[in-house]
């Protein structure tokens, strides 16, 4: 049987993060890298059949928010991520150095 206190704490952390994301989304659109920045015509794109869990910095308008996300695809310099808050799914491209793996527990 797991640790109910840890489960409750993780749930509260997730809810708090979702509230921050949804609040930031009201103040500005989710930003993503441009086609020029991605240079996809010249750079290879890797698509992951089993997306990895990461923490990533994203921007809604001028506001930076750190989110738990999945890396869905990548180039040598950027990561295409997906994350959820409430019933919304967000997708964007961020620079690779804005992403850190979440260690397995």
pLDDT at 2: 60
- What's this model's pTM, rounded to 2 decimal places? 0.84
Integer angstrom CA distances of residue 41 from 26, 36, 75: 33, 9, 11
Integer angstrom CA distances of residue 29 from 12, 15, 96, 102: 25, 21, 20, 26
pLDDT band at 16 (very low <50, low <70, confident <90, very high): confident
pLDDT: which is higher, 21 or 8: 21
Residues 6+ apart with CB under 8 A from 78: 33, 37, 38, 93, 94, 95, 96
Residue 5 has pLDDT above 80, yes or no: no
62: three-class secondary structure by DSSP:
coil
Read off the pLDDT of each residue in 35-64 and give the average, rounded to a whole number.
95
CA distance 103 to 90: 22
pLDDT at 17: 86
């Amino acid at each position: 049987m797991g640790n109910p206190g840890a489960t409750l704490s993780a749930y509260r952390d997730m809810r708090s993060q979702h509230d921050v994301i949804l609040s930031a989304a009201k103040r500005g659109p989710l930003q993503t890298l441009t086609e020029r920045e991605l240079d996809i015509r010249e750079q290879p794109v890797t698509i992951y059949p089993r997306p990895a869990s990461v923490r990533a910095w994203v921007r809604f308008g001028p506001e930076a928010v750190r989110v738990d996300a999945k890396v869905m695809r990548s180039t040598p310099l950027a990561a295409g991520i997906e994350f959820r808050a409430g019933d919304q799914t967000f997708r964007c491209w961020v620079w690779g150095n804005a992403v850190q793996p979440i260690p397995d527990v």
